[in-house]
Amino acid sequence: MKKVISVLCALTVLAAGAFAQGPHRERRGGEEGWRERVRAEKVAFLTEQIDLTESEAQVFWPIYNEIQKAQRESFEAVKKAYDAMEKGVQDGKTGKEMEKLVKAYVDAKEKNEGFETKYMNKLLKALPAEKVARYYVAEERFRHQQIGRLGNGNFPNFRMSEEQKQQWRERGEQIKEQFRGWTGQNQKKEE
Residue 184 is assigned to a structural domain of this protein: no
Residue 63 lies in a domain: yes
Q: Give the end-to-end CA distance of the chain in Å, rounded to a whole number.
A: 65
- Indicate the range of 45-54, 133-142, 147-156, 174-183 predicted with least confidence: 174-183
Kindly give the interhelix angle for 30-50 and 54-90, rounded to the nearest 10 degrees.
130
Q: What mean pLDDT is predicted for residues 152-161? A: 55
Contact 38, 146 (CB under 8 A): yes
* 183 within domain boundaries: no
Between residues 156 and 43, the one the model is more confident about: 43
pLDDT at 161 over 80: no
Which tens digits make up the pLDDT trace of 76-127? Answer: 999 999 999 999 999 988 899 999 999 999 999 888 777 788 889 899 999 9
Percent of the chain at pLDDT above 90?
32
CB of 77 closer than 8 Å to CB of 112 = yes
Which range marks the domain in which residue 94 is found? Answer: 2-165
Q: What pLDDT score was predicted for residue 17?
A: 47
Does some domain include residue 191? no
Of residues 113 and 37, which shows the higher confidence score? Answer: 37
Residue 73 within a domain: yes
Q: Is the pTM of this model over 0.75?
A: no
Amino acid 14: pLDDT: 45
34-38, 124-128, 151-155, 175-179: which is most confident: 124-128
Domain count of the chain? 1
Instruction: Answer whether residue 182 is part of any domain.
Output: no
User: Considering the domain boundaries, does residue 13 fall inside one?
Assistant: yes
pLDDT at residue 38, as a whole number: 85
Mean pLDDT over 144-151 rounds to 79
Residue 8 within a domain: yes
- Nearest Cα neighbor of 71 from 42, 103, 49 is 42
Instruction: State mean pLDDT over 134-148.
Output: 89
Cα 66 versus chain centre, distance: 14
